[in-house]
């Protein structure tokens, strides 16, 4: 099952979708050779304002990730139109492997109150 199919499937839980994204990002980072590099956890726009990604609920993380993935797909498609002969897979790989949002989805801030 492709990442797109996984994200669009209604019978797959949010946590399983996040795990599928994490596995894809891990593979992209290994191929891109930056798996050992730390990428700073970003602040993301939410309806409550800017928040650190690690403070969001799994459902909110998934919503943000889906937007980022759609943006990556769009940018890669546009890049292939602008630059004849571009390897779209390499463009996608680089964007997945360096995305602060996608590379930090698995991190959750811990606190004593579970919020």
To the nearest whole percent, how much of the chain has pLDDT over 70? 97
- For residue 76 the two structure tokens come to 């890669």
Cα separation, 32 vs 111, in Å, equals 33
Give the predicted TM-score (pTM) of the model. Answer: 0.90
Q: Hey, is 99 helix, strand or coil?
A: coil
Q: Hey, is 84 helix, strand or coil?
A: coil
Return the ∠ at Cα 76 (arms to 83 and 36), rounded to 5°.
Answer: 115
- For residue 80 the two structure tokens come to 């292939």
Q: Is 80 exceeded by the pLDDT of residue 23? A: yes
Q: Is 90 exceeded by the pLDDT of residue 108? A: no
């Amino acid at each position: 099952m492709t990442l797109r199919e996984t994200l669009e499937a209604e019978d797959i839980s949010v946590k399983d979708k996040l795990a599928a994204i994490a596995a894809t990002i891990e593979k992209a980072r290994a191929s891109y050779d930056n798996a050992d590099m730390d990428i700073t956890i970003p602040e993301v726009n939410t309806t409550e304002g800017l928040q650190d990604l690690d403070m969001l609920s799994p459902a909110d993380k998934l919503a943000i990730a889906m937007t980022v993935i759609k943006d990556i797909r769009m940018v890669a498609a546009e890049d292939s139109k602008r630059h004849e002969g571009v390897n779209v897979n390499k463009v996608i790989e680089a964007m997945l492997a360096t995305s602060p949002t996608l590379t930090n989805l698995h991190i959750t801030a811990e606190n004593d109150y579970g919020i």
